[in-house]
Amino acid sequence: MIEFETDVFVERRWRLAHGRDLALGARGVLMGVLNVTPDSFSDGGQLTSVELAVERGRAMAAEGAAILDIGGESTRPGGDPVDAATEQGRVLPAMRGMLDALPETILSVDTYRADTAAKAVEAGAHIVNDVWGLQREPDIANVAASTGAGLCIMHTGREREKLADVIADQFAFLETSLEIAARAGVGDAQIVLDPGFGFAKDARENFAVMARFEALHKLGYPLLVGTSRKRFIGHATGREAADRDIGTSATTALLRAAGAAVFRVHNVAVNRDAMAIADAMIAERNDITG
**CA 206 – CA 16 distance, rounded (Å):** 29
Q: Are 146 and 171 in contact (CB under 8 A)?
A: no
DSSP code of residue 227: -
**CA 90 – CA 55 distance, rounded (Å):** 16
63-92 residue pLDDT tens: 999 999 999 997 766 667 889 999 999 999
- Check if 119 is active-site: no
18: left (phi over 0), alpha (psi -120 to 50) or beta: left
Q: Cα–Cα–Cα angle for 35, 18, 14, nearest 5°?
A: 75
CA dist list (Å): 56 to 22, 75, 93, 207, 263: 22, 20, 15, 31, 18
Q: Which residues contact 72 (CB under 8 A, 6 or more apart)?
A: 36, 37, 82, 86, 87, 88, 89, 90, 91, 94, 110, 111, 116
**CA 239 – CA 249 distance, rounded (Å):** 14
Q: What predicted TM-score, i.e. pTM, was given to this entire model?
A: 0.93
**CA 211 – CA 205 distance, rounded (Å):** 10
**Residue 23: CA count within 13 A, CB half-sphere:** 6
Residue 173: strand, helix, or coil: helix
- Check if 230 is active-site: yes
What is the residue-level pLDDT of the chain in tens, covering all 290 positions?
A: 334 445 899 999 999 999 999 999 999 999 999 988 874 444 545 556 888 889 999 999 999 999 999 999 977 666 678 899 999 999 999 999 999 999 999 999 999 999 999 999 999 999 999 999 999 999 999 999 999 999 999 999 999 999 999 999 999 999 999 999 999 999 999 999 999 999 999 999 999 999 999 999 999 999 999 999 999 999 999 999 999 999 999 999 999 999 999 999 999 999 999 999 999 999 998 877 66
Residue 242: strand, helix, or coil: helix
Residue 52: name the closest of 66, 42, 38 by CA. 38
Of the listed 230, 244, 256, 272, which one is catalytic?
230
AA identity, residue 99: L
235-245 residue pLDDT tens: 999 999 999 99
